[in-house]
């Protein structure tokens, strides 16, 4: 009987008399952890990105990114420790260095952490690559000499000596390549924005950027 009373007293002490040692998250501390996790969380993606090295510009497939770095896929060769600059869409260039390579994939670490707000823009546009190479535009029986100013996965911006109406169907010759059934989507002065009939593969974009 006495042992039962002692046990009952200890049980009540454990349940009520002893302090509750379970940890409750401090709202401010918890918010800070959430922000840090968000800053390092990778965002999976599948879009072309412009990567600049000392030897030139290539187009690589951006596989994932965070505020601290990014992962790419490319047929080009890189080396660990190599300095690069990269960007996608309308984002500014980010300075980085290659920290790992696995087959045709490689990862970079940003020199400066990026603003998390800018990581996932609401209105994404395919990265535009400056080119500045001669081009010939054929509209019906007319031929126009011009220059490709830049290009993206779904379009070309061409400066033309002549007047092309918006909505015109054309063929654009750039080097050995012919882009057929392109549409003049916009015209601003001597510049014309052509929409391609199909999206350019990443490998083709990289070749075009390198002048191949």
pLDDT single digits (tens) 43-67:
888 889 999 999 888 899 999 988 8
% pLDDT > 70, the chain: 75
Tens digits of residue pLDDT in 67-101:
899 999 998 899 999 999 999 887 889 999 999 99
The mean pLDDT value for 181-194 works out to: 96
Q: H or E stretch including 161?
A: none
Cβ contact 65:71 at 8 Å: yes
Sign of the CA dihedral with 211 first, then 156, 180, and 136 last: negative
Say how far apart CA 210 and CA 212 lie, in whole Å. 6
Do the two domains 40-118 and 129-209 of this chain adopt the same fold? yes
pLDDT at 50: 92
Q: Where are the domains of the chain?
A: 40-118, 129-209
The reported pLDDT for the residue numbered 39 is: 47
Question: 28 or 138: whose pLDDT is higher?
Answer: 138
The CB density around residue 20, as the number of other CB atoms within 10 Å, is 8
Count other C-beta atoms under 10 Å from residue 207's C-beta.
17
| pLDDT confidence band for 22 (50 / 70 / 90) | very low
pLDDT, residue 45, reads 82
- Grouping H, G, I as helix, E, B as strand and the rest as coil, residue 112 is coil
Look at residue 92 in the predicted model and tell me its pLDDT.
86
Q: Return the pLDDT at 46.
A: 83
Distance from C-alpha of 159 to C-alpha of 134, rounded to nearest angstrom: 9
Mean pLDDT for 121-143 is 83
Sign of the CA dihedral with 14 first, then 18, 23, and 26 last: positive
pLDDT of 7 over the 80 cut: no
Residue in this structure with the two tokens 């300095």, named with its chain if needed:
83
CA angle 154, 90, 74 (to 5 degrees): 65
Q: With contact defined as beta carbons under 8 Å apart, do 160 and 151 qualify?
A: no
Q: Evaluate whether the domain defined by 40-118 bears CATH number 2.30.30.90.
A: no
Q: Which pLDDT score, from 0 to 100, does residue 30 have?
A: 29
pLDDT interval class at 38 (50, 70, 90): very low
Q: Mean pLDDT over all residues of the chain?
A: 79
* Mean pLDDT value of segment 94-115: 92
Q: Classify strands 83-87 and 69-73 as parallel, antiparallel or unpaired.
A: unpaired
Domain 129-209 coded CATH 1.20.1300.10: no
């Amino acid at each position: 009987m006495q042992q039962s009373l002692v046990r009952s007293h200890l049980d009540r002490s454990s349940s009520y008399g002893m302090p509750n040692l379970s940890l409750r998250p401090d709202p401010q501390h918890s918010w800070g952890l959430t922000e840090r996790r968000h800053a390092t969380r990778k965002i999976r993606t599948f879009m072309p990105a412009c990567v600049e090295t000392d030897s030139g510009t290539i187009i690589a497939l951006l596989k994932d990114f965070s505020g601290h770095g990014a992962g790419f896929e490319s047929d080009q060769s890189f080396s660990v420790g190599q300095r690069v600059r990269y960007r996608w869409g309308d984002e500014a260039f980010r300075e980085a260095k290659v920290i790992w390579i696995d087959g045709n994939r490689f990862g970079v670490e940003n020199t400066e952490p990026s603003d998390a707000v800018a990581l996932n823009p609401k209105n994404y546009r395919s990265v535009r690559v400056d080119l500045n190479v001669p081009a010939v535009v054929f509209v019906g029986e007319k031929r126009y000499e011009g220059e490709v100013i830049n290009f993206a996965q779904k379009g070309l911006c061409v400066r033309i000596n002549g007047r092309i109406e918006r909505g015109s169907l054309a063929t654009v010759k750039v080097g050995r390549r012919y882009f057929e059934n392109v549409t003049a989507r916009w015209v601003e002065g001597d510049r014309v924005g052509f929409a391609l009939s199909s999206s350019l593969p990443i490998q083709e974009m990289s070749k075009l950027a390198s002048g191949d």
